[in-house]
């Protein structure tokens, strides 16, 4: 989007504003499929749960990774609107419930759909058997997350040494283990995480087959890095590594899934905010904008991510701090931006803010989240 387009939209809709460009969503999906053509793409809805995004990706051919019952129903209802004649069987092709820990209420609600769900321990298996006996299950492995922006392995995944025992335990309960899954950590720039995880999964599959249980599915999770800056290596390089390992380690009939979230949506959104205050503190110029880390910039807190702010006006840039609109000292967007001198009512914008931003916004301090608009749907 050009600066003039952003300014025009801000004038029309007001600020704070999040603008999601569906042309970019489609381009990102096409890039994923171009470089990983044999991998079925399950968009991780938690990255940005806007229904319009779900509809666009469904039209592109995507499936969906959900982690809560509301996410499941959002995907289900939007698919049904687009494909009214779709039968319940589409659940297996279009939705995986990839949260390894589920309350009984969720399992009870899911069971009638006969879904595919993940687990990583014996207690979860017992719950699934009791409350969702018609589910197919996928065992999540714990793998290395070194170098990833958000680490997940301390919370999810079983040790590889106990994996086959957990597979056998599921079959003994009368459940069917369809496959394995893993997650190398969000925004993974260490490609060796994928190499090590794929090798670990292959070893578990071989041992499981030797003990009488051949698995059909491998879910390689998410972690595909968004190009936030020039230091992030191109996706095609990661895809080349993944394709080579899959070809070397797995039989051609293994169904490979992936759960990209950030990669698909991060670059598709831009935020626009308005300067509502300014002051000089300890010799540094400070600006206050009508957005915050409790709203569009929530990724600063929850996602360990930074979103460099840019100005629409020109001028010699100076070091400054940017604060959000809430009455909390934590609400600091940046202590080291470089912007030209700004006045009250001037606009600023941040690009590549489509992942884990408006999706995790709150109503803290009484301020509503930014208005989200969609273009090029």
Which residues are tagged catalytic? Answer: 327
Going from the C-alpha of 238 to that of each of 189, 215, 318, the distances in angstroms are 9, 25, 37
Q: Is 7 left (phi over 0), alpha (psi -120 to 50) or beta?
A: alpha
Query: Is the Cβ–Cβ distance between 178 and 170 less than 8 Å?
Result: no
Does residue 371 sit in helix, strand or coil?
Answer: strand
Q: Is 144 left (phi over 0), alpha (psi -120 to 50) or beta?
A: beta
Query: Is the Cβ–Cβ distance between 118 and 140 less than 8 Å?
Result: yes
Query: For residue 370, which of 290, 261, 266 has the smallest C-alpha distance?
Result: 290
Q: How far is residue 166's CA from residue 367's CA, in Å, rounded to a whole number?
A: 47
Query: Is the Cβ–Cβ distance between 179 and 138 less than 8 Å?
Result: yes
Element housing 336 (H / E) = strand 332-339
Q: Is 143 left (phi over 0), alpha (psi -120 to 50) or beta?
A: beta
Q: What is the DSSP string of 239-286?
A: HHHHHHHHHHHS-TTPEEEE---HHHHGGGEEEEEEEEEEEEETTEEE
Angle at 91 between CA 87 and CA 92, to 5 degrees: 115
Helix, strand, coil percentages for the chain (3-state, nearest 5): 40, 25, 35
Q: What is the DSSP letter of 141?
A: B
Tokens of 137: 């299950």
Residues 6+ positions from 103 with CB-CB distance below 8 Å: none
Q: Is 168 exposed, middle or buried (0-12, 13-18, 19+ CB in 10 A)?
A: middle
């Amino acid at each position: 989007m050009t600066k003039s387009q952003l300014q025009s939209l801000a004038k029309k809709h007001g600020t704070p504003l999040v603008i999601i460009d569906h042309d970019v969503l489609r381009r990102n999906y096409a890039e994923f499929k171009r470089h990983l053509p044999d991998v079925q793409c399950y968009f991780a809805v938690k990255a940005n749960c806007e229904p319009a995004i779900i509809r666009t990706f469904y039209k592109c051919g995507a499936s969906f990774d959900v982690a809560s019952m509301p996410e499941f129903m959002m995907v289900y209802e939007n698919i049904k609107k687009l494909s009214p004649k779709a039968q319940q069987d589409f659940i297996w092709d279009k939705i995986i419930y990839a949260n390894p820990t589920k309350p009984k209420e969720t399992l009870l609600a899911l069971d009638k759909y006969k879904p595919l769900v993940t687990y990583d321990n014996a207690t979860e298996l017992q719950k699934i058997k009791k409350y969702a006996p018609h589910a197919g299950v996928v065992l999540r492995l714990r793998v290395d997350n070194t170098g990833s922006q958000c680490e997940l392995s301390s919370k999810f995944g079983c040790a590889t040494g106990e994996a086959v025992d957990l597979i056998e335990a599921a079959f003994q309960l009368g459940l069917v283990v369809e496959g394995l899954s893993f997650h190398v950590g969000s925004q993974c720039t260490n490609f060796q995480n994928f190499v090590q995880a794929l090798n670990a999964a292959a070893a578990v599959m071989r041992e499981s087959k030797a003990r009488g249980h051949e698995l059909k599915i491998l879910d390689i999770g998410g972690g595909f890095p968004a190009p936030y800056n020039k230091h992030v290596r191109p996706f095609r390089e990661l895809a080349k590594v993944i394709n080579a390992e899959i070809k070397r380690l797995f039989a051609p009939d293994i169904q490979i899934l992936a759960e990209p979230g950030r990669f698909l949506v991060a670059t598709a959104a831009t935020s626009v905010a308005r300067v509502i205050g300014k002051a000089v503190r300890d010799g540094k110029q400070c600006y206050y904008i009508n957005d915050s880390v409790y709203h569009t910039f929530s990724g600063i807190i929850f996602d360990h991510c930074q979103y460099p702010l840019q100005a629409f006006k020109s001028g010699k840039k100076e070091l400054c701090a940017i604060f959000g609109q809430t009455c909390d000292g934590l609400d600091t967007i940046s202590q080291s931006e470089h912007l030209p001198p700004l006045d009250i009512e001037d606009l600023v914008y941040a690009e590549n803010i489509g992942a884990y931003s408006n999706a995790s916004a709150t109503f803290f301090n009484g301020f509503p989240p930014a208005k989200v608009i969609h273009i090029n749907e």
